[in-house]
Amino acid sequence: MRSVGVEEELLLVDMETNEPRALSTAVLAVASRDGRHGQIFEKELQREQLEFATHPQTGMGELAAEIERWRAEAGRHAGEVGAAVAALATSPLPVSPSITPDERYQWLEKEFGLTAQEQLTCGCHVHVSVDSDEEGVAVLDRVRPWLPVLLALSANSPYWQGEDSGYSSYRSRVWGRWPSAGPVEIFGSADRYHAQVQAMVDTGVLRDEGMVYFDARLSNAYPTVEIRVADVCLNASDTVLLATLARALVETAARAWQAGEPPARQGVGLLRLAAWSAARSGLERQLIHPVTMRPVPAEAAVRALFDHVRDALDDSRDLIPVQDAITELLRRGNGARVQRELFRRTGSLRDVIAECSRLTTG
């Protein structure tokens, strides 16, 4: 069974005011005192962020327990310096982010200006193991049209600088400012993938392969496909659903490749429109159907994804848990809906953040 690992980026906020706070260095210092956590928590581009990564897991129950544990530990470490953590993909309150004092991040700020300076966004990256780069690229070629549905499920960033953006995932729109971000063409082979990545680095625009910000890519650190399209999810259970669907997508794509089935050939232009629709609507209105490329109710697109990966879910014994999790998510709503409902009820973005912080470590 393929292993799965998750990276989550969390927002650091003041425990009293709920405003984003540039405290990652202090939180990491607290975490480093606990030897068990030395390799779990990491800095990110902005000092208002904290990232953690799980270990590779094959059981979704074990993955869920680890995500919940590291969220709770992140909250505990942050609490020691007067902060809290919130699984929010953008800050609802206005913020002027501060770049982490790191040579790489300062290079990004110098080269990319406001794109880097304003990039206070928190995503969720899912790593799924593959047997080879050849299998990995075959997977990348075949998962492309399904990734916008994952974005819609995870959408958790309706607010930007104190205003409702009109989007469910405004993070994805801000992230899309990077020149290498978004959907990509069909590569056809590992050699072509690596040649394209090298050609992009050779332009001088990108510092290195780590700046290839495709919606899904081969990891340059692990033998995995890294699916990077999602917002960080408000509820840990939604992160587990996202990871389970991602693994099933990878397994389904690998089986299709092994059977000699060619990838669907939707152009990048159509995939960009599908991603925009997912960012705009989340689960509230219509999405672009991954097969027909026509608008359908969001639930229909989600059900199409479920049907597409049904066999892989059944084989990993995840079919019923995923079916139940999708039903619950559609009933409750993703993070974007929860945030907006909280604001309608309280009229305060500070209260939204406070409640989302509680849900993060709850």
Q: What is the pLDDT of residues 238-282, one digit of tens each?
A: 999 999 999 999 999 999 999 999 999 999 999 999 999 999 999
- For the stretch 148-182, pLDDT in tens is 999 999 999 999 999 999 999 999 999 999 999 99
3-state secondary structure of 117: helix
Taken in order 309, 317, 329, 231, the sign of the CA dihedral is negative
C-alpha span between 341 and 333 (Å, rounded): 10
C-alpha span between 88 and 9 (Å, rounded): 9
C-alpha span between 323 and 318 (Å, rounded): 8
Q: How many CA atoms lie within 13 Å of 289's alpha carbon, on the beta-carbon side?
A: 12
- For the stretch 107-118, pLDDT in tens is 999 999 999 999
Task: Identify the pLDDT of residue 34.
Answer: 77
The domain 4-361: what is its CATH number? 3.30.590.20
**Helix segments in 167-235, DSSP class H:** 170-175, 190-202
246 neighbors 312 (Cβ within 8 angstroms): no
Joined together, the tokens standing for residue 147 give 């990734």
The residues facing 296 across adjacent strands are: 287
The residue whose two tokens read 């966004």 is 121
Task: Identify the pLDDT of residue 362.
Answer: 84
3-state secondary structure of 115: helix
Residues of the chain with pLDDT below 70 are 36-38
